[in-house]
Amino acid sequence: MTPTQLRTFAAIARHGSSRGAAGELGVSEAAVSSHVAALRKELGDDLFHRSGSGLAFTPGGLRLAARAVEMLGLQDRTLHEIRAAGEGQRVLRVAVSSLFGEIAAPGLIELFSSRADDLQVEVSEWSPDQFARLITARIVDVAIGPEAKSAGDGIHTKQFLRYQLVAVVGAQHALAGRKLKPAAMAEATWLLGPSAVDATSSVGRMLRHFRVPEARQRIFPNHAAALTEARQGHGVALCPAHSATAELADGRLVRVDVPGAMVDGVWATFALRRDDASPLANEIIRFVSTPRAIQAMLTGSGANIARFKPRVHVTLWS
């Protein structure tokens, strides 16, 4: 099996068709068919059959699809680590949820990466429902974000920080200073960050609690932009209570006075079981619960996540 054949088969599994795989890879359907034929001959398995509703994979084909993703992820990781090793660098790849990435990751990653000159940290932003896949495929070493009820087989989860998400408005907003009934929240304009699209997030839970229709939701590229709009009186925003303490104290922001306008959340680490995880993954998992790390996450580093030191590489994924 060659990496090209595996990459082709993984693309077929993702798209459910040879045409979709060809489009992703930028090759002809004939080239895709050629790679599939070579795999079938080598493995002695049909791998999949065409049916009226798409492709039906054999048990061997399903297993190959899963293994292909893992092997390609390991190959990419190995190539990257070899290049980094040639430069005398260790590499830690971290996936983060959007809210954690914006609020807490800058302080944590800057402090962690400053502990050693040979350490390179790569941070990428993903939806939490992708964490298990990324870890299993070894695309990342560790993921950090909201706790999940079921992280998946072989994934170890460790809680390390609780937070409270509160609904706020600008001082001049019509809802400021009023005692409200829950129904009023469904009629307000909500100014939200990317985590609003994740139904399992704290933001998603609050939107469901108030039955906020999609027509009343405005989603911004980041949570800071949503909060800026809220300061100007354009709607209701959500933010961790600890990050808005000063503005709540001086009146720039006002907490919405309605039952349910605060929800508890827990951030956790996700990685392979201790014996299978990389040494750096185990190291940062231990580090996140230390007092220094907690302080850094709560107070921040003063740097935007995209403005870390050069050795910290940030990639944002849609």
CATH code where residue 232 lies? 3.40.190.290
CATH of residue 100's domain is: 3.40.190.10
Those residues whose C-beta lies under 8 Å from the C-beta of residue 198, and which sit 6 or more positions away, are 97, 127, 128, 129, 204
Q: With both helix axes pointing from N to C terminus, report the angle between 3-15 and 18-25 in degrees, rounded to the nearest 10.
A: 120
User: Which of the listed residues 17, 42, 75 is the one where a domain comes to its end?
Assistant: 75
Conformation bin of residue 114: beta by default, left when phi > 0, alpha when psi is -120 to 50: alpha
In this structure, the answer to whether residues 187 and 259 fall within a common structural domain is yes
Residue 51 is predicted with a pLDDT of 67
Angle at 201 between CA 196 and CA 206, to 5 degrees: 70
Residue 175 phi, psi (nearest 5)? -85, -10
Q: Which domain holds residue 194?
A: 162-265
| Domain total of the chain | 3
Half-sphere exposure of 173 (CA within 13 A, CB side): 28
Regarding whether 259 and 179 lie in a shared domain, the answer is yes
Domain-ending residue, one of 28, 57, 75: 75
pTM value surpassing 0.75: no
Tokens for 219, please give them.
Answer: 């989603």
Residue 155 backbone dihedrals phi, psi, to 5 degrees? -105, 125
Whether residues 247 and 282 share a domain: the answer is no
Hey, what are 133's tokens?
């896949």
244 and 299 within one domain: no
Clarify whether residues 82 and 211 are in a common domain.
Answer: no
Would you state the pLDDT for residue 54? 67
Structure token pair of residue 186: 């469904």
Q: What is the pLDDT of residue 313?
A: 36
Rounded to whole angstroms, what are the CA distances from 267 to 42, 96, 98, 172, 195? 45, 10, 12, 33, 14
Q: Which two tokens stand for residue 175?
A: 């809802």
User: Does one domain contain both 230 and 177?
Assistant: yes
Element (H, E) at 111: helix 105-113
For the chain, 318 residues long, the average pLDDT of each consecutive 10-residue run is 88 85 89 92 88 74 82 74 66 90 91 85 86 87 86 84 92 92 93 82 89 90 88 92 89 93 92 86 94 87 38 36
Q: Does one domain contain both 65 and 27?
A: yes
pLDDT number for residue 211:
94
Same domain? For 280 and 151 the reply is: yes
DSSP 11: H
Spatial separation of the C-alpha atoms in residues 106 and 221, rounded to whole Å? 17
> Counting beta carbons within 10 angstroms of the beta carbon of residue 206, is it exposed (0 to 12), middle (13 to 18) or buried (19 or more)?
buried
CATH of the domain at 26: 1.10.10.10
Q: What is the pLDDT of residue 81?
A: 64
The Cα–Cα gap between 267 and 94 comes to 14
In 102-222 the beta strands, taken as DSSP E runs, fall at: 119-125, 142-146, 155-170, 190-192, 217-219
Residues 287, 226 share a domain: no
